[in-house]
Structure 1
Amino acid sequence: MNGWTDTILGDEIDLAYGKSLPAHVRQAGPYEVFGSNGCVGHHEEPLIAGPGIIVGRKGSVGEVAYSEGDFWPIDTAYYVVNKGGHDWRFLFHLLSSLGLKGLNSHSAVPGLNREDAYSIGVSLPAQPEQKMIADALDVVVDRLKLEDEAIALSQDLKRAAMRVLFSNGLRGEAQKETEFGPVPATWDESLLDDCATVQTGAAKGRKFADAEVVEVPYLRVANVQDGHLDLTEMKEIRIRKSEIERYRLQLGDVVLTEGGDFDKLGRGFIWRGELELCVHQNHVFAVRPDREKMLPEFFAYLAQSPYGKAYFLKVAHKTTNLACINSTKLKAFPVPVPPTLDEQREIVAILDAIDRKIDLHRRKRAVLDELFKALLHKLMTGEIRVADLDLSALTPASPGKAA
């Protein structure tokens, strides 16, 4: 392949065992400790000189991580011995492209079988071209990191804005204390049941006569992500035809999860009619506010705010790692409401602007992720060459800032 060398992976690298380092014996230090799923801590001394590559052996089988500096791989992971003297970043991208996650053994204790990995055929360019390929891929990787940072910063801004807006209002007015935190003194308090309808969802697994059953898309907890609805993987549920309208999502409904991790309890987002017909499962509520009293968007943001989180955590049924609320507790939510709908609209407009910024960075990140996957495959197979690429548009105008 234009001067590339055909070989097998085992002739170019070894996968060596890491060494146990339990968390209780680690001493705080500058060196990263890697397990099968990436960095799991730090230690005062390294085991292996960097740069280096770590490959998941147990647990997150075939996951590939990179360490720029010296590091300590523990015994759930392999570290790479670079027998062929290849460019380290090229080797990292190569291993990421080989589908090592699919080499999970079928023994009683699943893991990555080294012999299976060693037998994989690869074609390798000379080291100068390896570095050029790695540099090209790293341009996209660096841009992905910038988008991740922009998303994180925007989410921090949103949390700070909600904290201020729902405790001080728009104009920094006097506060009154409530059980769930301070709110503006001029805001009235109503139970959610007095200003909205709470609709419970359809349960899976019920038995029906085939003649009365239809299969329709339904919204699950998995579709309600942190800050947005993810409808990329929709499933269908069997329900009676007569029940469709009972469980159907309507434009402007606030979909609210009944449970999950403590920090994700009560995630609430607006249903914008993304699907013509969609119902919701029984672990997702549909809250339908009386629009003469409260805007749906206002309640969605209130549910995500520190005030809303404090209420849900207070009333939730809790286990070690999870919490959940029922419809009775949700209906009893004490909603602090500004005296005018115009004030609600102003608050929503501020938070909507931040959400649009977050969504823009998410969409840019998704495009970059697809670009990276395509480039990874085409560059590693020689289908395209670095000389054919122009990635200058991905270089930010100002270092450290996403465009």
Structure 2
Amino acid sequence: MSEVEIKQERGWKRYPAYKDSGVEWLGKIPEHWEVKRLKYISRLTYGDSLSGDTKGLGDIPVYGSNGLVGIQRALAPNTFAPCIIIGRKGSCGKITYSESCVFAIDTTYFIDARTVNSSICLKWLFYVLSLLELDKSSQDTGVPGLSREFAHNQLLPWTGLIQQQAIAQFLDRETVKIDTLIAKKERLIELLKEKRTALISHAVTKGLNPDAPMKDSGIEWLGEIPEHWEIMPIKFALAIPITDGPHETPELHDEGIPFISAESIKNDRIDFDKKRGFISPEEHKRFSRKYKPQYGDVYMVKSGATTGNVARVETEEEFNIWSPLAVLRPDTHITTTNFLFYAMKSKPFFYSVELSWSFGTQQNIGMGVISNIRIVIPPLTEQQAIAQFLDRETAKIDTLVTKTRISIDKLKEYRTSLISAAVTGKIDIRENLTPSPN
């Protein structure tokens, strides 16, 4: 289903008459509906502890506060099917629905046929609960986790079983359409990212001239390169040896000099909104004796989950960095900032990083290892042309990715608003379908 088709179906009818629910988040509800506390509709049952020796291959899904966490092989499920699992600790308030029997662990509550009366459709209740923002319990009380008393006292819209079933069936149908479209758009983003990487990799290893004479690079995963290009360890293309930030934890302040680390290297840029905090001018001066950021430097994350991420320094403003970032300053007689950046964004370079990193508590790669990774170096004029080409072409792809993400966000907003409209009675879906059994 296309977005246009979804928009065309938005002209849902309203109920003939409404009344004030007396609940702020509900507003007005259909005149024949009621408002009830959750404890008069259902009760939350605590999940059970699960010992480590029962986890492994099996056929019983195990659910924690954030959803499916694994498979159980020994004990029987502790819920009936279908069931609702609610995060109690950790991802408190997260709502998950399962059509099958599961084992809900002790960081959760669950609701199944044993804990609701016969006038309740569990799938309808799942949709209602998903709107309650139960995670606010710990924020409001200051106590970690979701209080069962808090959840039981939540006020919900209530209508008869037949209409509950109709609402659930309607939302199942409509959300599947939206989810399918979202999945297609997410796949499009994946393909665009793959195309972007392939474009960069080809340009920095093969050049822009398809008729250029080629030679064997002598590197299996690199293949042929233009005959007049060179291959060298990256350290020979740099003005200074690879360095990094201080190997100490500075005192952070509310103002001063921005201090960044690995989390700031995001989407090929330095995101100063993700800075660690600020350091004092005195600390900045002291740290700058080892390394002072300079426009045109290239940073690579060398430890942690984002090892290999790269960004250029594109500001003259003062800031400083921490030790998880490796600094590469190009020798302008050999390479340019932009070409070096794209070379480090290529698939062959990242493959070399992956082959070279080590694992402790987290993946990391040493500066000496980075120094010896080989890159392809064209003449400077070609480097400039390649970088300009990639700036232009990657910008086009990035624009498409951004537009697609905005479209996904709008679809997710519509999905939430549609669920809200159906379960609070803002739209009348009774003519749309025939209710199915619970």
Assess same fold via TM > 0.5: yes
Number of the residue aligned with 1:62: 93
Number of the residue aligned with 1:152: 190
Number of the residue aligned with 2:309: 267
Number of the residue aligned with 1:12: 41
8 A Cα contact 2:298 2:310, kept in partner = yes
Check if 1:365 corresponds to 2:395. no
- Residue correspondence of structure 1 range 156-171 to structure 2 within 5 A: 156-160=194-198, 171=210
Q: 1:267 offset after TM fit, Å?
A: 0.8
Runs of at least 5 residues in structure 1 that lack an aligned partner in the other structure: 388-403
Number of the residue aligned with 2:257: 216
- Residue correspondence of structure 1 range 339-354 to structure 2 within 5 A: 339=379, 341-342=381-382, 345-346=385-386, 349=389, 353=393
Number of the residue aligned with 1:37: 66
Mean CA deviation greater in 10-19 or 371-380: 371-380
Q: 1:145 offset after TM fit, Å?
A: 3.1
8 A Cα contact 2:245 2:321, kept in partner = yes
Deviations 1:187-208 (A, max 9, x none): 3123434433456446775479
Q: How many angstroms apart in 2 are the aligned matches of 1:51 and 1:229?
A: 47
SS at structure 2 position matched to 1:154: helix
8 A Cα contact 1:379 1:385, kept in partner = no
1:238–1:351 Cα change, 3 Å:
closer
Number of the residue aligned with 1:27: 57
**Count of residue pairs brought into register by the alignment:** 374
Which one of the candidate residues 149, 160, 172 is aligned to 1:115?
Answer: 149
Which one of the candidate residues 26, 40, 53 is aligned to 2:84?
Answer: 53
Q: How many angstroms apart in 1 are the aligned matches of 2:218 and 2:327?
A: 29
Q: How many angstroms apart in 2 are the aligned matches of 1:169 and 1:65?
A: 50
TM-score by length of 2: 0.65
Deviations 1:283-318 (A, max 9, x none): 334434345533434323332434323443565564
Check if 1:255 corresponds to 2:299. yes
Task: Give the letter for the 2:131 counterpart.
Answer: S
Q: How many angstroms apart in 2 are the aligned matches of 1:75 and 1:2?
A: 36
Number of the residue aligned with 2:432: none
Check if 1:336 corresponds to 2:373. no
1:79–1:355 Cα change, 3 Å:
farther
Deviations 1:367-388 (A, max 9, x none): 643774587479648899347x
Number of the residue aligned with 2:131: 97
Q: How many angstroms apart in 2 are the aligned matches of 1:228 and 1:38?
A: 33
8 A Cα contact 1:295 1:341, kept in partner = no
1:13–1:377 Cα change, 3 Å:
farther
TM-score by length of 1: 0.69
Task: Give the letter for the 2:217 counterpart.
Answer: K
8 A Cα contact 1:298 1:348, kept in partner = no
Number of the residue aligned with 1:398: none
1:60–1:181 Cα change, 3 Å:
same
Number of the residue aligned with 1:240: 281
1:207–1:224 Cα change, 3 Å:
closer
Q: 1:268 offset after TM fit, Å?
A: 0.6
SS at structure 2 position matched to 1:335: strand
Q: How many angstroms apart in 1 are the aligned matches of 2:195 and 2:34?
A: 51
Deviations 1:303-353 (A, max 9, x none): 243432344356556414331434x55444433223464367447746864
Number of the residue aligned with 1:390: none
Q: How many angstroms apart in 2 are the aligned matches of 1:86 and 1:50?
A: 14
Q: How many angstroms apart in 1 are the aligned matches of 2:236 and 2:394?
A: 30
Number of the residue aligned with 2:110: 79
1:50–1:363 Cα change, 3 Å:
farther
Q: How many angstroms apart in 2 are the aligned matches of 1:65 and 1:301?
A: 42
Check if 1:2 corresponds to 2:29. yes
Q: 1:55 offset after TM fit, Å?
A: 2.0
Identity of aligned residues (%): 18
Runs of at least 5 residues in structure 2 that lack an aligned partner in the other structure: 1-27, 429-438
Q: How many angstroms apart in 2 are the aligned matches of 1:303 and 1:123?
A: 55
Q: 1:124 offset after TM fit, Å?
A: 4.1
Q: 1:141 offset after TM fit, Å?
A: 4.5
8 A Cα contact 1:14 1:81, kept in partner = no
1:386–1:366 Cα change, 3 Å:
farther
